[in-house]
Each structure stands twice: as C-alpha cells, then as structure tokens.
C-alpha cells in the first residue's frame, strides 16, 4: 500500500469517469467541480475525525505508565485502519512454528533456519528485516523455538511473535522465506511515547501468543524513559502517539509513575 492510497477519496477514477474520458466527453469545469466536492468531503471527514484512529483511555491493571518503562494497555477506536498482519508457517520435519508480525502491514520480514549448531539462538535485524533461527546442535523443539522468539530478551521482541503447534523438532536448515498476507503501510505504523519509538508487547509463552494490536486496543512496551537525554522521571507528563497506516492519533498528558 502506498502513502497516496490514504487519499483515495480524492481520486476520481471510477469506471464511469474513465468511460467519460475514453468517449471524449471530458469537461474541465465539471472535473474542477467534482474535485472541489471531493476535497470538501474529505476535509469534513478530517474535521470530524471520521474513520481516524482515536486513543481513549489507559487501563492501568495491565501496567501504569512508568518512567522505568513496561507494558501499557491503551484503548481506542479504528486503531488498525483495516490493516492485516504478515505471517509465516515455518516447518521443519514434524516441527511447526507459526510466526506473526507484531505490527500490521506488508513487513518485508524474511525468516531463515540455519544449520543446527551449538545452542539455540534467534537473531533479528531491524535494518535487513531478516530473522535467523539457529537450532541447537542436537535440534530444538518447536516449543523451544517459539519460546526463544517470544522472550523479552530476544531481538525479535516487539517485532515477531511465534506460536508452536506440534511436538516436533527443528533438525535441519530451512531456506529463507518471506512473511506474507499483510495489508497496509508497515513503515507508517509507529508507536511513540515521549517522542521515542516503542513497540507492541509480546507474550512469553510458546503456545499462547495473541496479537497485542487490535482495532480497539494496543498493549505497548514503553522503554526506559529515565535513560533518555534529558532523563524523564516520575510525575513527568508525556504524550503517547499512534500512527496507523499514516493516520495519527495522540494521547496527551500521561503522568508517569
């Protein structure tokens, strides 16, 4: 999805319109009037926040926003903007792990399983968007692989979640595969707190790992804001913002605990 698709309301490219052009009945005055009507209609939608993402409130039972960071649950509306998430069913013999991108849109993430060696390792580069899984020398169960991907200490934390579905073992290399199925502008989906990017939370469990970004709520992991320059502290007020498919919502005035 391109950035210009967010302004589809301003593009008069219906079949009837195209037929008029082909038939040579194009009228400049009519076209200007139509464009003006489209702009006015779109402006009204913006003024009324029609279909725009809205952040409503925080549920502190999940975690209060603190200067030291942690998971925070925020409720709202239209937070997904009809986007979907990339996924990949990764299979190695009887071992099966289903991977999902934590952020919606066409992610460009690829996954490769290296030849077993040493102990189980998982790496992820936010630059290349390559996730590399290296099973242990004797192989790694799919539960172990999923747990390694979902752990808070993993490089995949905030980017990929995994669900183990069988009792198999990863015993060999698997060629690079892309995650697919997502719809939306991945690069235009950004969470920020105090101007610092943060990411959807993960679940540290092999077989239960639900999406934390839905159309009505997001569980995000706030970073340690005391490490910023200047450092933030308890009682400071910060803003949390969401860009969803290029459309921005702001929740101002969070008071840090």
Residue-by-residue DSSP string for 118-156: SS-EEEE-TTT-EEEEE--TT-EEHHHHHHHHHSTTSTT
CA angle 174, 175, 179 (to 5 degrees): 100
Cβ pair 116, 172 in contact under 8 A? yes
State the residue for tokens 């991907």. 149
Q: In the chain, which ranges are E strands?
A: 54-59, 70-77, 87-92, 95-101, 110-113, 121-124, 130-134, 140-141, 160-164, 169-170, 174-178, 190-193, 196-200, 217-222, 237-244, 247-255
Domain assignments of the chain as residue spans, ordered by start: 3-47, 54-82+189-255, 87-178
Tens place of pLDDT per residue across the chain (257 aa): 444 455 555 555 566 666 666 666 666 677 777 778 778 776 776 665 668 999 999 998 888 899 999 999 999 999 999 999 999 999 998 899 999 999 999 999 999 999 999 999 999 999 999 999 999 999 999 999 999 999 988 999 999 999 988 789 999 999 999 999 999 999 999 999 999 999 999 876 656 667 899 999 999 999 999 999 999 999 999 999 999 999 999 998 888 88
What is the value of pTM for the model shown?
0.81
Can you give the pLDDT at residue 3? Answer: 42
Residue 22: the pLDDT is 66
d(CA 168, CA 98): 13
CATH topology assigned to domain 54-82+189-255:
Immunoglobulin-like (2.60.40)
The answer, yes or no, to whether the previous bond of 238 is cis (omega within 30 of 0) is: no
pLDDT, residue 167, reads 83
């Amino acid at each position: 999805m391109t950035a210009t698709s967010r302004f589809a309301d301003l593009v008069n490219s219906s079949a009837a319109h195209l037929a008029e052009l082909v038939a040579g009945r194009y009228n400049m005055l009519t076209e200007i009037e139509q464009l003006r009507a489209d702009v006015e209609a779109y402006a009204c939608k913006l003024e009324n926040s029609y279909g725009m993402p809205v952040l409503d409130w925080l549920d502190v039972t999940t975690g209060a926003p603190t200067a030291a960071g942690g998971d925070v649950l925020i409720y709202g509306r239209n937070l997904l903007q009809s986007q979907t998430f990339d996924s990949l069913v990764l299979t190695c013999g009887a071992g099966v792990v289903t991977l999902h991108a934590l952020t919606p849109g066409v992610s460009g993430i690829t996954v490769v399983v290296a030849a077993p060696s040493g102990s189980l390792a998982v790496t992820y580069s936010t630059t290349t968007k390559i996730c590399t899984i290296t099973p242990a020398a004797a192989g790694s169960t799919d539960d172990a692989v999923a747990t390694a991907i979902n752990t808070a200490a993993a490089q995949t934390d905030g980017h990929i979640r995994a669900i183990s579905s069988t009792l198999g073992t990863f015993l060999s290399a698997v060629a690079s595969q892309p995650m697919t199925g997502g719809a939306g502008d991945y690069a235009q989906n950004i969470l920020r707190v105090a101007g610092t990017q943060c990411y959807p939370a993960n679940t540290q469990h092999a077989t239960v790992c639900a999406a934390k970004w839905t159309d009505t709520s997001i569980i995000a992991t706030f970073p340690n804001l005391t490490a910023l320059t200047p450092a933030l502290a308890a009682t400071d007020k910060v803003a949390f913002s969401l860009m969803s498919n290029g459309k921005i919502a702001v929740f101002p005035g969070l008071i840090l605990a």
